[in-house]
Amino acid sequence: MDNWSALSLVPELIDVLNSLPPKLNIKPSLGAESSSVKHEIELTQNVETKIKTSKGLTKSSPFSKWLLAIIAVILISLFAYRLVLYQLEVNLHKEIAENSYDSDEDFDMYVQKFYRDLGVYGIYPKRPKEQVIKFSKLDQLDNTTHIHGVSFGFEDDDKIEIYINPTTWAHFNKPMRYILIYHELAHDVLNLDDLNEDSWNEGKLMYPVISEYEGKDMDDFIESYKVLFESQSGLLVDDGYKTTKPMDDKNNSPWTPPSDAILVD
């Protein structure tokens, strides 16, 4: 027992001891501690910044809520207004249709003539599936006493629906009747709007005040629809509609309608 030696002096154990890993030092260094503290400070500052930003948003939120509320009220009001107008038009349409009646008047003759005149100018709109042209006593209804004729096929290529005040028709001469029918057909077939009630538009087919056509003859009617159809075909016109000049594909020259294009049956 007195001759024991330290294990580190035993030759056989030296290699074993040398192969053991060194003792780990788990105590953090001063630099690591400093970095950790710095990181915590940065996190605290970021949290404080977010809190301040959140407070700023909270302060402005009442204004944002009022703005959103105002926008919502405006949108709802516009929707309600359009809905009311639509319902009024639906009710008017129903009332006019219920008061309409058939007659011996050959309105289809005007329709066929209208399509023939369009074809002369190279305009070939779709033929509608439904065609209704009747008399309706517009001067006896509450909201149409001032109307001579009205159409309901605007922007509906599958329908021509026109109602004519019989009192108006009885008092109109031949050119005035053509002007009235062609005006309403231009709404339903060509989907054209009325022109503004400006003095320079008087005499044009889409002028909405038909009383301005009193005293007009067939030549005036012919000129009015000729100008309109030329504008829709792209022909050169200088009358407030269009000023374009298409070319004939065959000879590369300006296209002109035949001489009988403005004749009326």
Sequence spans of domains, the chain: 40-98, 103-262
* Angle at CA of residue 223, ends 219 and 229, nearest 5°: 140
Q: How far apart are CA 165 and CA 168, in angstroms?
A: 5
Q: Give pTM, 2 decimals.
A: 0.62
pLDDT along the chain (265 residues), means of 10: 55 59 52 52 53 51 82 88 82 90 95 96 92 94 88 92 95 94 96 91 88 82 94 63 40 38 34
Residue 239 pLDDT = 46
Contact 17, 9 (CB under 8 A): no
* Angle at CA of residue 153, ends 261 and 102, nearest 5°: 85
Which pair of tokens denotes residue 231? 């504008």
CA distances from 213 to 151, 165, 206 (A): 19, 17, 11
